[in-house]
Amino acid sequence: MKRGREEEDMEIVWQTPANPPERHDYVFRNGIRYVRPYYFEFISHAKNRWAGKTIVDLFTEEFRGRPRDYYVSAVKSGRIQVDGQVVSEYHRVQPSQKISHFLHRHEPPVMALDVTILQEEPDVLTICKPASVPVHPCGQYRKNTIVGILQAEHDLAPLFPIHRLDRLVSGLLILARSASKADFFRQQIESGVVEKQYVARVIGVFPENEQVVDANVNFNHREGRSTVEVEDICGNSNSALKGKAACTKFTRISTNGIHSIVSCHPITGRTHQIRVHLQYTGHPIANDMLYLSNFVADGSTEGLGAGRTSFKFNRNEKNSVESEVNSNEDICFDPMCTNCPNLAPKGYDVHEEGLWLHCVRYSAPGWVYECPYPDWAIIS
């Protein structure tokens, strides 16, 4: 009965990208930053291969995260519309039609680490990016991003990231405060005058002398990982290789015989370049599950878990945490939502670890920006 009254009385306010994140949008529980679920209009235009499909078949086949019954109800209730109009569940889609899906959006959680401002200038902002937080809106992330958090908590907007860090990577992030300044930085990066330095914690005793890896990197979008390609023993040219040319220089900073701290200087900027080049040297990042698949898990892999569940809680403890998170007023229950009553969307675990890879320094003629080393980079 209570749920029925909630559904009747519920006032739905739809958001668009024009609605800026605000401080009260965030909920902090047990070291995790959540976003209060909100209503959002997702817009797409029908592709040619969608033509002729019924609206329900289209969503069921293309967006498999929800059951068919949900899409039937969403069409009937007007939460799925075509060209701004409510249609029947048997409506057949035509190419280029505007399809709107009004959704109760649950964003994935991130670690509740501070976004530390390092330097604030009239046209440049530098911050220390925490691991697990994406730089800008992508996928299911919109407010739980560096750009969103800086806008909500520091009223800093607009911001233009001039380079990117993977979501699980921490460290220096440079953001221009105008489009013209962003273009200036991007031109320098494209011309090759910008020097970049990262630090990583890797498995084993890394060689003492500088190691240069000059090997193509081929990123597989479907698998979400890169591989290294090299010339065969016959010396075939790079033109036969599918990947992009990539070069990284590595220098050992310290080692304790189990792990090594390595300074990484990427000359190019390919997807997962440092991670896959370190794997190629035989010394992958010590908690990088994506590139540790070929290595035996032994004492040297202590701390594994970047991008995976952190097994700090057993099932009962985890359920207790989730119950505490969801037993308050932080979420407005939507009777049609397939993620309610949880704050996090289904399929995301709240216990995630950052990668032991950290951006330390960017420099070019006339400027240099730096970020302190993380705690895990100190070993003895």
Please give the positions annotated as active site.
Answer: 166
Three state DSSP letters for the chain: CHHHHHHHHCCCCEECCCCCCCHHHEEEECCEEEECCEEEEEEEECCHHHCCCEHHHHHHHHCCCCCHHHHHHHHHHCCEEECCEECCCCCECCCCCEEEEEEEECCCCEECCCCEEEEECCCEEEEEECCCCCCCCECCECCCCHHHHHHHHHCCCCCEECCCCCCCCEEEEEEECCHHHHHHHHHHHHHCCCEEEEEEEEECCCCCCCEEEECEEEEECCCCEEEEECCCCCCCCHHHCCCECCEEEEEEEEECCCEEEEEEEECCCCCCHHHHHHHHHCCCECCEHHHCCCCCCCHHHCCCCECCECCCCCHHHHHHHHHHHHCCCCCCCCCCCCCCCCCCCCCCCCCEECCCEEEEEEEECCEEEECCCCHHHCCC
Torsion angle defined by CA atoms of residues 223, 263, 355 and 216, in that order, rounded to the nearest 10 degrees = 0
Amino acid at 374: P
Give dist(CA 245, CA 311) in Å, integer.
38
Give the Cα separation of 273 and 63 in Å (integer). Answer: 31
Phi-psi region of 5 (alpha: psi -120 to 50; beta: other; left: phi over 0): alpha
Q: Residue 310: phi, psi to the nearest 5?
A: -90, 115
Which residues does residue 120 pair with via DSSP β-bridges, in sequence order? 125
